[in-house]
Structure 1
Amino acid sequence: MTTTTARATIGLLARKELHDALRNRWFVLYTVIFAVLSLALSWIGLAGGQLYGLAGFGRTTASLINLIMLIVPLMGLTLGALSLALEREQGTLLYVLAQPVVPAEVLLGKLLGLATALTAALSIGFGLSGLLLAWRGSTMGLGAYLGLFGLTILLALLSLSLGLLFSSALPRTATALGSALFAWLLLVFLGDLGLLGSALVLRIPVEQLFTLSLLNPLQVFKIAAILLLRSDLQVLGPAGQYAMHTYGMRLLPLSVGVLLLWSLLPLLPAYLFFRRRGAL
Protein backbone atom coordinates (compact mmCIF):
# COMPACT_ATOMS: atom_id res chain seq x y z
CA MET A 1 0.00 0.00 0.00
CA THR A 2 1.42 3.39 -1.05
CA THR A 3 1.89 6.33 1.30
CA THR A 4 -0.85 8.29 -0.45
CA THR A 5 -3.32 5.43 -0.06
CA ALA A 6 -2.38 5.02 3.61
CA ARG A 7 -2.94 8.72 4.26
CA ALA A 8 -6.31 8.59 2.53
CA THR A 9 -7.31 5.57 4.60
CA ILE A 10 -6.24 7.21 7.86
CA GLY A 11 -8.10 10.39 6.89
CA LEU A 12 -11.27 8.43 6.08
CA LEU A 13 -11.13 6.56 9.40
CA ALA A 14 -10.43 9.82 11.25
CA ARG A 15 -13.51 11.48 9.72
CA LYS A 16 -15.63 8.48 10.69
CA GLU A 17 -14.29 8.60 14.26
CA LEU A 18 -14.91 12.35 14.49
CA HIS A 19 -18.49 11.85 13.28
CA ASP A 20 -19.07 9.09 15.83
CA ALA A 21 -17.61 11.20 18.64
CA LEU A 22 -19.89 14.12 17.84
CA ARG A 23 -22.87 11.77 18.08
CA ASN A 24 -21.69 10.37 21.43
CA ARG A 25 -24.02 11.71 24.14
CA TRP A 26 -21.34 11.47 26.82
CA PHE A 27 -18.91 13.47 24.73
CA VAL A 28 -21.52 16.15 24.07
CA LEU A 29 -22.34 16.23 27.79
CA TYR A 30 -18.65 16.61 28.73
CA THR A 31 -18.31 19.44 26.19
CA VAL A 32 -21.33 21.29 27.56
CA ILE A 33 -20.20 20.85 31.17
CA PHE A 34 -16.69 22.09 30.42
CA ALA A 35 -17.99 25.11 28.49
CA VAL A 36 -20.54 26.05 31.16
CA LEU A 37 -18.07 25.70 34.03
CA SER A 38 -15.42 27.65 32.11
CA LEU A 39 -17.89 30.48 31.54
CA ALA A 40 -18.94 30.36 35.20
CA LEU A 41 -15.33 30.62 36.39
CA SER A 42 -14.71 33.50 34.01
CA TRP A 43 -17.80 35.32 35.24
CA ILE A 44 -16.80 34.78 38.87
CA GLY A 45 -13.32 36.05 38.05
CA LEU A 46 -14.80 39.19 36.50
CA ALA A 47 -17.04 39.73 39.52
CA GLY A 48 -14.08 39.33 41.87
CA GLY A 49 -12.02 41.65 39.71
CA GLN A 50 -14.59 44.39 40.03
CA LEU A 51 -14.31 44.11 43.80
CA TYR A 52 -10.56 43.59 44.14
CA GLY A 53 -9.14 44.85 40.86
CA LEU A 54 -7.91 41.44 39.70
CA ALA A 55 -9.98 40.88 36.58
CA GLY A 56 -8.45 39.49 33.42
CA PHE A 57 -7.15 36.31 31.84
CA GLY A 58 -4.64 35.62 34.61
CA ARG A 59 -7.28 35.17 37.31
CA THR A 60 -9.39 32.91 35.08
CA THR A 61 -6.33 30.87 34.05
CA ALA A 62 -5.58 30.13 37.70
CA SER A 63 -9.22 29.14 38.31
CA LEU A 64 -9.33 26.83 35.29
CA ILE A 65 -6.36 24.66 36.29
CA ASN A 66 -8.24 22.45 38.77
CA LEU A 67 -11.28 22.23 36.49
CA ILE A 68 -9.09 21.04 33.63
CA MET A 69 -7.31 18.48 35.81
CA LEU A 70 -10.69 17.03 36.79
CA ILE A 71 -12.67 16.98 33.53
CA VAL A 72 -10.20 16.76 30.63
CA PRO A 73 -8.57 13.43 31.65
CA LEU A 74 -12.06 11.97 32.11
CA MET A 75 -13.00 13.06 28.59
CA GLY A 76 -9.89 11.58 26.98
CA LEU A 77 -9.86 8.34 28.95
CA THR A 78 -13.53 7.51 28.36
CA LEU A 79 -13.45 8.38 24.67
CA GLY A 80 -10.33 6.31 24.12
CA ALA A 81 -11.59 3.37 26.17
CA LEU A 82 -14.85 3.19 24.21
CA SER A 83 -13.32 3.60 20.75
CA LEU A 84 -12.08 0.07 20.01
CA ALA A 85 -13.89 -1.94 22.69
CA LEU A 86 -17.35 -0.70 21.72
CA GLU A 87 -16.83 -1.43 18.03
CA ARG A 88 -15.40 -4.82 18.95
CA GLU A 89 -18.60 -5.73 20.80
CA GLN A 90 -20.86 -4.32 18.08
CA GLY A 91 -19.01 -6.23 15.36
CA THR A 92 -18.15 -3.15 13.29
CA LEU A 93 -14.45 -3.51 14.06
CA LEU A 94 -14.45 -6.93 12.39
CA TYR A 95 -15.94 -5.33 9.27
CA VAL A 96 -13.33 -2.54 9.28
CA LEU A 97 -10.41 -4.96 9.64
CA ALA A 98 -11.82 -7.07 6.80
CA GLN A 99 -11.10 -4.16 4.48
CA PRO A 100 -7.64 -3.58 2.94
CA VAL A 101 -6.33 -1.76 6.02
CA VAL A 102 -3.64 -2.52 8.58
CA PRO A 103 -4.02 -2.14 12.38
CA ALA A 104 -1.66 0.86 12.48
CA GLU A 105 -3.93 2.78 10.08
CA VAL A 106 -7.02 1.98 12.13
CA LEU A 107 -5.34 3.06 15.37
CA LEU A 108 -3.92 6.26 13.87
CA GLY A 109 -7.26 7.09 12.27
CA LYS A 110 -9.06 6.71 15.59
CA LEU A 111 -6.39 8.72 17.39
CA LEU A 112 -6.55 11.56 14.86
CA GLY A 113 -10.35 11.67 14.77
CA LEU A 114 -10.78 11.61 18.54
CA ALA A 115 -7.97 14.14 19.03
CA THR A 116 -9.75 16.49 16.61
CA ALA A 117 -13.02 16.04 18.50
CA LEU A 118 -11.35 16.76 21.84
CA THR A 119 -9.57 19.81 20.47
CA ALA A 120 -12.86 21.16 19.12
CA ALA A 121 -14.61 20.57 22.46
CA LEU A 122 -11.88 22.31 24.44
CA SER A 123 -11.74 25.16 21.92
CA ILE A 124 -15.43 25.83 22.55
CA GLY A 125 -14.89 26.15 26.31
CA PHE A 126 -11.73 28.25 26.04
CA GLY A 127 -13.15 30.33 23.19
CA LEU A 128 -16.39 31.25 24.95
CA SER A 129 -14.54 32.02 28.15
CA GLY A 130 -11.99 34.14 26.28
CA LEU A 131 -14.69 36.08 24.45
CA LEU A 132 -16.41 36.86 27.74
CA LEU A 133 -13.16 38.07 29.29
CA ALA A 134 -12.27 40.16 26.25
CA TRP A 135 -15.73 41.74 26.28
CA ARG A 136 -15.96 42.50 29.99
CA GLY A 137 -12.41 42.23 31.28
CA SER A 138 -8.94 43.01 30.02
CA THR A 139 -6.27 41.34 27.91
CA MET A 140 -3.85 41.01 30.82
CA GLY A 141 -2.60 37.44 31.11
CA LEU A 142 -3.66 36.49 27.57
CA GLY A 143 -0.34 34.73 26.91
CA ALA A 144 -0.71 32.50 29.97
CA TYR A 145 -4.32 31.76 28.97
CA LEU A 146 -3.26 30.62 25.50
CA GLY A 147 -0.40 28.64 27.01
CA LEU A 148 -2.84 26.87 29.30
CA PHE A 149 -4.96 25.99 26.25
CA GLY A 150 -1.94 24.34 24.64
CA LEU A 151 -1.14 22.40 27.82
CA THR A 152 -4.77 21.30 28.02
CA ILE A 153 -4.60 19.88 24.49
CA LEU A 154 -1.51 17.90 25.52
CA LEU A 155 -3.32 16.61 28.62
CA ALA A 156 -6.28 15.54 26.46
CA LEU A 157 -3.98 13.72 24.03
CA LEU A 158 -2.14 11.77 26.72
CA SER A 159 -5.46 10.83 28.35
CA LEU A 160 -6.73 9.69 24.96
CA SER A 161 -3.60 7.58 24.43
CA LEU A 162 -4.11 5.88 27.80
CA GLY A 163 -7.75 5.25 26.94
CA LEU A 164 -6.79 3.66 23.62
CA LEU A 165 -4.36 1.41 25.48
CA PHE A 166 -7.18 0.09 27.69
CA SER A 167 -9.49 -0.27 24.69
CA SER A 168 -6.96 -2.26 22.66
CA ALA A 169 -5.88 -4.53 25.52
CA LEU A 170 -9.28 -5.40 27.04
CA PRO A 171 -12.00 -7.31 25.18
CA ARG A 172 -15.15 -5.85 26.77
CA THR A 173 -16.47 -2.31 26.80
CA ALA A 174 -17.37 -2.46 30.49
CA THR A 175 -13.89 -3.69 31.42
CA ALA A 176 -12.11 -1.07 29.32
CA LEU A 177 -14.32 1.74 30.61
CA GLY A 178 -14.01 0.58 34.21
CA SER A 179 -10.22 0.44 33.92
CA ALA A 180 -10.17 3.93 32.42
CA LEU A 181 -12.30 5.32 35.25
CA PHE A 182 -10.08 3.63 37.82
CA ALA A 183 -7.02 5.18 36.17
CA TRP A 184 -8.75 8.57 36.30
CA LEU A 185 -9.39 8.16 40.02
CA LEU A 186 -5.76 7.25 40.62
CA LEU A 187 -4.46 10.20 38.64
CA VAL A 188 -6.82 12.73 40.23
CA PHE A 189 -7.04 11.62 43.85
CA LEU A 190 -3.53 10.22 44.31
CA GLY A 191 -1.89 13.42 43.18
CA ASP A 192 -1.02 16.04 45.78
CA LEU A 193 -2.80 14.14 48.56
CA GLY A 194 -1.10 10.83 47.81
CA LEU A 195 2.36 12.36 47.44
CA LEU A 196 1.96 14.37 50.62
CA GLY A 197 0.80 11.34 52.60
CA SER A 198 3.60 9.17 51.23
CA ALA A 199 6.18 11.83 52.03
CA LEU A 200 4.98 12.13 55.62
CA VAL A 201 4.72 8.38 56.27
CA LEU A 202 7.80 7.17 54.38
CA ARG A 203 9.92 10.30 54.93
CA ILE A 204 10.73 10.51 51.23
CA PRO A 205 13.58 12.92 50.37
CA VAL A 206 12.48 16.00 48.45
CA GLU A 207 14.35 15.05 45.26
CA GLN A 208 12.64 11.65 45.17
CA LEU A 209 9.30 13.33 45.86
CA PHE A 210 9.76 15.51 42.79
CA THR A 211 10.71 12.46 40.70
CA LEU A 212 7.55 10.69 41.84
CA SER A 213 5.48 13.70 40.83
CA LEU A 214 6.76 13.32 37.26
CA LEU A 215 5.18 9.84 37.16
CA ASN A 216 1.73 11.45 37.39
CA PRO A 217 0.98 13.45 34.21
CA LEU A 218 -1.57 15.56 36.10
CA GLN A 219 1.16 16.75 38.44
CA VAL A 220 3.39 17.56 35.48
CA PHE A 221 0.53 19.51 33.92
CA LYS A 222 0.02 21.39 37.19
CA ILE A 223 3.71 22.29 37.42
CA ALA A 224 3.73 23.62 33.85
CA ALA A 225 0.46 25.53 34.34
CA ILE A 226 1.65 27.21 37.53
CA LEU A 227 4.92 28.19 35.83
CA LEU A 228 2.87 29.96 33.16
CA LEU A 229 1.27 32.12 35.83
CA ARG A 230 4.23 32.77 38.09
CA SER A 231 7.98 32.29 38.08
CA ASP A 232 8.17 30.05 41.16
CA LEU A 233 6.58 26.91 42.57
CA GLN A 234 6.37 27.84 46.25
CA VAL A 235 2.69 26.88 46.20
CA LEU A 236 3.80 23.24 45.65
CA GLY A 237 5.93 23.22 48.79
CA PRO A 238 9.47 21.82 49.16
CA ALA A 239 9.24 19.70 46.00
CA GLY A 240 8.40 22.77 43.94
CA GLN A 241 11.18 24.82 45.49
CA TYR A 242 13.64 21.98 44.85
CA ALA A 243 12.54 21.76 41.21
CA MET A 244 12.99 25.50 40.65
CA HIS A 245 16.38 25.50 42.38
CA THR A 246 17.58 22.48 40.35
CA TYR A 247 16.16 23.20 36.88
CA GLY A 248 15.37 26.93 36.91
CA MET A 249 14.07 28.19 33.56
CA ARG A 250 14.44 24.71 32.05
CA LEU A 251 11.60 23.38 34.19
CA LEU A 252 8.79 24.56 31.88
CA PRO A 253 10.20 22.98 28.69
CA LEU A 254 11.05 19.88 30.75
CA SER A 255 7.43 19.62 31.91
CA VAL A 256 6.13 20.05 28.36
CA GLY A 257 8.56 17.38 27.16
CA VAL A 258 7.35 14.95 29.85
CA LEU A 259 3.73 15.59 28.78
CA LEU A 260 4.68 14.86 25.16
CA LEU A 261 6.42 11.67 26.25
CA TRP A 262 3.34 10.62 28.23
CA SER A 263 1.25 11.21 25.08
CA LEU A 264 3.42 8.89 22.98
CA LEU A 265 4.34 6.11 25.40
CA PRO A 266 0.93 4.33 25.55
CA LEU A 267 0.63 4.19 21.74
CA LEU A 268 3.24 1.46 21.18
CA PRO A 269 1.72 -1.08 23.62
CA ALA A 270 -1.73 -0.08 22.35
CA TYR A 271 -0.65 -0.94 18.80
CA LEU A 272 0.92 -4.24 19.90
CA PHE A 273 -2.23 -5.28 21.80
CA PHE A 274 -4.47 -4.24 18.91
CA ARG A 275 -2.38 -6.08 16.32
CA ARG A 276 -2.47 -9.26 18.40
CA ARG A 277 -6.12 -9.07 19.48
CA GLY A 278 -7.70 -7.49 16.44
CA ALA A 279 -11.49 -7.72 16.47
CA LEU A 280 -11.57 -10.48 19.09
Structure 2
Amino acid sequence: MDLENILTIAQKELRDARRNRWFLLYALAFAGLSLALGWLALSGTGAYGLAGYGRTSASLVNLILLIVPLMGLTLGALSLAGEREQGTLLYLLAQPISPAELLLGKFIGLALALVAALSLGFGLTAVFIAGSGGGGAVATYLTLLGLACLLAIASLSVGYLISAVVRRAATAVGLALFGWLLLVFFGDLGVMGTALVLRLDVSQLLLLALLNPLQLFKIAAILDLRQNLELLGPAGVFALRTYGAALLPLLVGLLGLWIVLPFVAAARLFKHKGVL
Protein backbone atom coordinates (compact mmCIF):
# COMPACT_ATOMS: atom_id res chain seq x y z
CA MET A 1 0.00 0.00 0.00
CA ASP A 2 1.13 3.53 -0.79
CA LEU A 3 0.69 5.80 2.24
CA GLU A 4 0.73 8.91 0.05
CA ASN A 5 -2.24 7.64 -1.98
CA ILE A 6 -4.17 6.84 1.20
CA LEU A 7 -3.52 10.30 2.66
CA THR A 8 -4.50 11.99 -0.62
CA ILE A 9 -7.86 10.20 -0.64
CA ALA A 10 -8.34 10.98 3.06
CA GLN A 11 -7.77 14.69 2.38
CA LYS A 12 -10.30 14.54 -0.46
CA GLU A 13 -12.89 13.01 1.88
CA LEU A 14 -12.28 15.73 4.45
CA ARG A 15 -12.87 18.40 1.80
CA ASP A 16 -16.01 16.62 0.60
CA ALA A 17 -17.32 16.37 4.17
CA ARG A 18 -17.00 20.14 4.57
CA ARG A 19 -19.24 20.54 1.51
CA ASN A 20 -21.76 17.91 2.61
CA ARG A 21 -24.84 19.83 3.80
CA TRP A 22 -26.24 16.95 5.84
CA PHE A 23 -22.96 16.39 7.62
CA LEU A 24 -22.63 20.11 8.38
CA LEU A 25 -26.21 20.15 9.67
CA TYR A 26 -25.50 17.19 11.97
CA ALA A 27 -22.27 18.77 13.21
CA LEU A 28 -23.90 22.16 13.91
CA ALA A 29 -26.89 20.50 15.58
CA PHE A 30 -24.61 18.45 17.82
CA ALA A 31 -22.52 21.50 18.74
CA GLY A 32 -25.62 23.62 19.46
CA LEU A 33 -27.32 20.95 21.55
CA SER A 34 -24.08 20.25 23.43
CA LEU A 35 -23.81 23.93 24.34
CA ALA A 36 -27.45 23.96 25.43
CA LEU A 37 -26.92 20.91 27.65
CA GLY A 38 -23.79 22.49 29.10
CA TRP A 39 -25.75 25.61 29.97
CA LEU A 40 -28.56 23.57 31.52
CA ALA A 41 -26.09 21.49 33.53
CA LEU A 42 -24.57 24.65 34.98
CA SER A 43 -27.79 26.57 35.57
CA GLY A 44 -29.60 23.54 36.99
CA THR A 45 -27.78 23.97 40.30
CA GLY A 46 -29.09 27.51 40.70
CA ALA A 47 -25.64 29.09 40.43
CA TYR A 48 -22.80 28.88 37.96
CA GLY A 49 -19.66 27.17 39.15
CA LEU A 50 -21.39 24.49 41.20
CA ALA A 51 -21.41 22.00 38.36
CA GLY A 52 -19.13 21.35 35.44
CA TYR A 53 -17.80 18.67 33.18
CA GLY A 54 -19.16 15.72 35.16
CA ARG A 55 -22.76 16.88 35.08
CA THR A 56 -22.46 17.94 31.43
CA SER A 57 -21.01 14.53 30.54
CA ALA A 58 -24.04 12.83 32.07
CA SER A 59 -26.34 15.11 30.06
CA LEU A 60 -24.49 14.41 26.82
CA VAL A 61 -24.82 10.61 26.92
CA ASN A 62 -28.37 10.46 25.52
CA LEU A 63 -27.60 13.15 22.93
CA ILE A 64 -24.64 11.10 21.71
CA LEU A 65 -26.76 7.94 21.57
CA LEU A 66 -29.25 9.65 19.24
CA ILE A 67 -27.18 11.87 16.95
CA VAL A 68 -23.72 10.28 16.67
CA PRO A 69 -24.80 6.89 15.21
CA LEU A 70 -27.03 8.72 12.73
CA MET A 71 -24.08 10.85 11.62
CA GLY A 72 -21.79 7.86 11.16
CA LEU A 73 -24.33 5.60 9.46
CA THR A 74 -25.51 8.14 6.89
CA LEU A 75 -22.01 9.40 6.12
CA GLY A 76 -20.77 5.84 5.62
CA ALA A 77 -23.81 4.83 3.57
CA LEU A 78 -23.20 7.66 1.08
CA SER A 79 -19.45 7.11 0.84
CA LEU A 80 -19.32 4.38 -1.82
CA ALA A 81 -22.90 4.26 -3.12
CA GLY A 82 -22.99 8.01 -3.74
CA GLU A 83 -19.73 8.09 -5.67
CA ARG A 84 -20.64 4.92 -7.55
CA GLU A 85 -23.90 6.53 -8.67
CA GLN A 86 -22.15 9.76 -9.72
CA GLY A 87 -19.43 7.88 -11.60
CA THR A 88 -16.58 9.37 -9.56
CA LEU A 89 -15.70 6.01 -8.00
CA LEU A 90 -14.81 4.60 -11.40
CA TYR A 91 -12.77 7.72 -12.15
CA LEU A 92 -10.82 7.40 -8.90
CA LEU A 93 -10.00 3.75 -9.57
CA ALA A 94 -8.74 4.70 -13.04
CA GLN A 95 -5.94 6.58 -11.27
CA PRO A 96 -2.75 4.81 -10.10
CA ILE A 97 -4.37 3.67 -6.86
CA SER A 98 -5.47 0.25 -5.63
CA PRO A 99 -9.02 -0.49 -4.37
CA ALA A 100 -7.62 -1.17 -0.89
CA GLU A 101 -5.90 2.23 -0.80
CA LEU A 102 -9.10 3.92 -1.97
CA LEU A 103 -11.27 2.20 0.64
CA LEU A 104 -8.86 2.84 3.49
CA GLY A 105 -8.24 6.45 2.48
CA LYS A 106 -11.96 7.20 2.26
CA PHE A 107 -12.61 5.54 5.62
CA ILE A 108 -9.80 7.43 7.36
CA GLY A 109 -10.94 10.75 5.89
CA LEU A 110 -14.55 10.22 6.94
CA ALA A 111 -13.48 9.05 10.41
CA LEU A 112 -11.37 12.19 10.84
CA ALA A 113 -14.32 14.33 9.74
CA LEU A 114 -16.53 12.71 12.40
CA VAL A 115 -13.88 13.11 15.09
CA ALA A 116 -13.46 16.78 14.13
CA ALA A 117 -17.24 17.39 14.33
CA LEU A 118 -17.47 15.77 17.77
CA SER A 119 -14.37 17.57 19.00
CA LEU A 120 -15.91 20.87 17.90
CA GLY A 121 -19.06 20.22 19.91
CA PHE A 122 -17.18 19.02 22.98
CA GLY A 123 -14.60 21.79 22.66
CA LEU A 124 -17.12 24.64 22.45
CA THR A 125 -19.00 23.22 25.43
CA ALA A 126 -15.77 22.87 27.42
CA VAL A 127 -14.84 26.50 26.70
CA PHE A 128 -18.30 27.62 27.80
CA ILE A 129 -18.11 25.61 31.03
CA ALA A 130 -14.63 26.92 31.84
CA GLY A 131 -15.70 30.49 31.07
CA SER A 132 -18.73 30.13 33.35
CA GLY A 133 -16.63 29.00 36.29
CA GLY A 134 -17.43 25.30 36.07
CA GLY A 135 -14.84 22.59 36.34
CA GLY A 136 -13.97 19.20 37.73
CA ALA A 137 -14.17 15.75 36.13
CA VAL A 138 -12.15 16.81 33.08
CA ALA A 139 -10.84 13.26 32.64
CA THR A 140 -14.41 11.92 32.59
CA TYR A 141 -15.36 14.51 29.96
CA LEU A 142 -12.40 13.58 27.76
CA THR A 143 -13.12 9.87 28.17
CA LEU A 144 -16.68 10.49 27.02
CA LEU A 145 -15.31 12.26 23.94
CA GLY A 146 -13.13 9.25 23.20
CA LEU A 147 -16.05 6.84 23.60
CA ALA A 148 -18.23 9.04 21.38
CA CYS A 149 -15.54 8.98 18.69
CA LEU A 150 -15.38 5.17 18.88
CA LEU A 151 -19.17 4.96 18.53
CA ALA A 152 -19.08 7.36 15.57
CA ILE A 153 -16.39 5.36 13.76
CA ALA A 154 -18.18 2.07 14.52
CA SER A 155 -21.37 3.53 13.03
CA LEU A 156 -19.37 4.77 10.05
CA SER A 157 -18.02 1.26 9.52
CA VAL A 158 -21.54 -0.22 9.51
CA GLY A 159 -22.64 2.48 7.06
CA TYR A 160 -19.61 1.67 4.93
CA LEU A 161 -20.73 -1.97 4.79
CA ILE A 162 -24.21 -0.89 3.70
CA SER A 163 -22.65 1.29 1.00
CA ALA A 164 -20.63 -1.66 -0.30
CA VAL A 165 -23.74 -3.86 -0.53
CA VAL A 166 -26.18 -1.57 -2.37
CA ARG A 167 -25.77 0.34 -5.62
CA ARG A 168 -28.01 3.38 -5.18
CA ALA A 169 -27.37 6.19 -2.70
CA ALA A 170 -31.06 6.57 -1.79
CA THR A 171 -31.30 2.87 -0.93
CA ALA A 172 -28.12 3.08 1.14
CA VAL A 173 -29.43 6.05 3.14
CA GLY A 174 -32.76 4.29 3.66
CA LEU A 175 -31.00 1.20 5.01
CA ALA A 176 -28.81 3.39 7.21
CA LEU A 177 -31.87 5.08 8.73
CA PHE A 178 -33.51 1.68 9.25
CA GLY A 179 -30.32 0.41 10.92
CA TRP A 180 -30.26 3.48 13.17
CA LEU A 181 -33.87 2.94 14.22
CA LEU A 182 -33.16 -0.74 14.84
CA LEU A 183 -30.15 -0.01 17.05
CA VAL A 184 -32.05 2.67 18.98
CA PHE A 185 -35.09 0.39 19.39
CA PHE A 186 -32.93 -2.42 20.73
CA GLY A 187 -31.72 -0.11 23.46
CA ASP A 188 -33.13 -0.22 26.96
CA LEU A 189 -36.78 -0.79 26.03
CA GLY A 190 -35.97 -3.31 23.31
CA VAL A 191 -33.67 -5.32 25.55
CA MET A 192 -36.19 -5.26 28.41
CA GLY A 193 -39.04 -6.30 26.11
CA THR A 194 -37.00 -9.13 24.60
CA ALA A 195 -35.95 -10.30 28.06
CA LEU A 196 -39.57 -10.41 29.24
CA VAL A 197 -40.84 -12.25 26.16
CA LEU A 198 -37.99 -14.78 25.99
CA ARG A 199 -37.52 -14.97 29.79
CA LEU A 200 -33.79 -14.39 29.58
CA ASP A 201 -31.59 -14.68 32.65
CA VAL A 202 -29.14 -11.95 33.69
CA SER A 203 -26.17 -13.34 31.75
CA GLN A 204 -28.21 -13.67 28.54
CA LEU A 205 -29.58 -10.16 29.03
CA LEU A 206 -26.03 -8.82 29.31
CA LEU A 207 -24.96 -10.71 26.18
CA LEU A 208 -27.88 -9.22 24.25
CA ALA A 209 -26.88 -5.72 25.37
CA LEU A 210 -23.24 -6.30 24.39
CA LEU A 211 -24.27 -7.08 20.80
CA ASN A 212 -25.46 -3.49 20.31
CA PRO A 213 -22.74 -0.83 19.81
CA LEU A 214 -25.03 1.82 21.30
CA GLN A 215 -25.38 -0.23 24.46
CA LEU A 216 -21.62 -0.80 24.56
CA PHE A 217 -21.13 2.96 24.51
CA LYS A 218 -23.84 3.57 27.12
CA ILE A 219 -22.49 0.97 29.56
CA ALA A 220 -18.94 2.31 29.16
CA ALA A 221 -20.09 5.92 29.60
CA ILE A 222 -22.11 5.16 32.75
CA LEU A 223 -19.23 3.14 34.18
CA ASP A 224 -16.87 6.06 33.54
CA LEU A 225 -19.31 8.56 35.08
CA ARG A 226 -20.49 6.64 38.15
CA GLN A 227 -17.86 3.91 38.67
CA ASN A 228 -20.76 1.46 39.09
CA LEU A 229 -23.60 0.08 36.98
CA GLU A 230 -26.43 -0.08 39.52
CA LEU A 231 -28.34 2.34 37.29
CA LEU A 232 -28.61 -0.47 34.70
CA GLY A 233 -30.18 -2.91 37.14
CA PRO A 234 -29.24 -6.57 37.68
CA ALA A 235 -27.47 -6.90 34.32
CA GLY A 236 -25.19 -3.97 35.15
CA VAL A 237 -24.38 -5.31 38.60
CA PHE A 238 -23.72 -8.76 37.11
CA ALA A 239 -21.41 -7.29 34.44
CA LEU A 240 -19.31 -5.37 36.95
CA ARG A 241 -19.18 -8.30 39.36
CA THR A 242 -18.14 -10.70 36.58
CA TYR A 243 -15.54 -8.61 34.76
CA GLY A 244 -14.50 -6.08 37.41
CA ALA A 245 -11.76 -3.70 36.29
CA ALA A 246 -11.57 -5.46 32.90
CA LEU A 247 -15.10 -4.38 31.95
CA LEU A 248 -14.22 -0.97 30.50
CA PRO A 249 -11.34 -2.33 28.34
CA LEU A 250 -13.69 -5.14 27.22
CA LEU A 251 -16.35 -2.64 26.15
CA VAL A 252 -13.77 -0.53 24.29
CA GLY A 253 -12.44 -3.67 22.60
CA LEU A 254 -15.93 -4.69 21.48
CA LEU A 255 -16.48 -1.22 20.02
CA GLY A 256 -13.18 -1.71 18.21
CA LEU A 257 -14.53 -4.94 16.73
CA TRP A 258 -17.56 -3.01 15.48
CA ILE A 259 -15.08 -0.80 13.62
CA VAL A 260 -12.87 -3.53 12.18
CA LEU A 261 -15.31 -6.31 11.22
CA PRO A 262 -17.80 -4.28 9.12
CA PHE A 263 -14.90 -2.52 7.37
CA VAL A 264 -13.24 -5.83 6.49
CA ALA A 265 -16.57 -7.20 5.26
CA ALA A 266 -17.12 -4.05 3.17
CA ALA A 267 -13.64 -4.39 1.63
CA ARG A 268 -14.27 -8.04 0.72
CA LEU A 269 -17.66 -7.25 -0.80
CA PHE A 270 -16.22 -4.33 -2.76
CA LYS A 271 -13.46 -6.54 -4.12
CA HIS A 272 -15.93 -9.31 -5.01
CA LYS A 273 -18.68 -7.16 -6.54
CA GLY A 274 -16.46 -4.56 -8.20
CA VAL A 275 -17.28 -0.93 -8.86
CA LEU A 276 -20.37 -1.25 -11.05
Q: Partner of 1:191 in structure 2?
A: 187
1:167 corresponds to which of 163, 166, 180:
163
The runs of 5 or more residues in structure 2 that have no matched partner are: none
Q: Partner of 2:113 in structure 1?
A: 117
1:79-129 deviations in whole A, cap 9, x for unaligned?
A: 000011011011111111112221111100100110111111111100000
Q: Does 1:35 align with 2:17?
A: no
Q: Does 1:208 align with 2:222?
A: no
Q: Partner of 1:148 in structure 2?
A: 144
Q: Partner of 1:218 in structure 2?
A: 214
Letter in 2 for 1:246: T
SS at match of 1:204: coil
The runs of 5 or more residues in structure 1 that have no matched partner are: none
Letter in 2 for 1:186: L
1:86 corresponds to which of 64, 82, 85:
82
1:29-70 deviations in whole A, cap 9, x for unaligned?
A: 001000000000000011012359851111000000000010
Q: Partner of 1:108 in structure 2?
A: 104
CA contact (8 A) 1:49 1:56 kept: no
CA contact (8 A) 2:49 2:133 kept: no
1:8 corresponds to which of 1, 4, 15:
4
Letter in 2 for 1:278: G
Q: Does 1:241 align with 2:237?
A: yes
Letter in 2 for 1:115: A
Q: Partner of 2:126 in structure 1?
A: 130
Letter in 2 for 1:254: L
Q: Partner of 1:250 in structure 2?
A: 246
How many angstroms apart in 2 are the aligned matches of 1:54 and 1:238?
A: 32
Give the direction of change, closer, same or farther, for the CA distance of 1:52–1:123 in structure 2 (3 Å limit).
closer
CA contact (8 A) 1:48 1:54 kept: no
Q: What is the identity percentage for the equivalent residue pairs of Structure 1 and Structure 2?
A: 62
How many angstroms apart in 1 are the aligned matches of 2:103 and 2:124?
A: 32
Letter in 2 for 1:197: G
Structure-to-structure mapping, 1:40-55, within 5 angstroms: 40-50=36-46, 54-55=50-51
CA contact (8 A) 1:31 1:122 kept: yes
CA contact (8 A) 1:46 1:137 kept: no
Give aligned pairs, total: 276
SS at match of 1:266: helix
Structure 1 residue runs of 4+, over 3 Å off? 51-54
Per-residue deviation, 1:171: 0.8
State the TM-score, normalized to the length of structure 1. 0.96
SS at match of 2:250: helix
SS at match of 1:100: coil
State the TM-score, normalized to the length of structure 2. 0.97
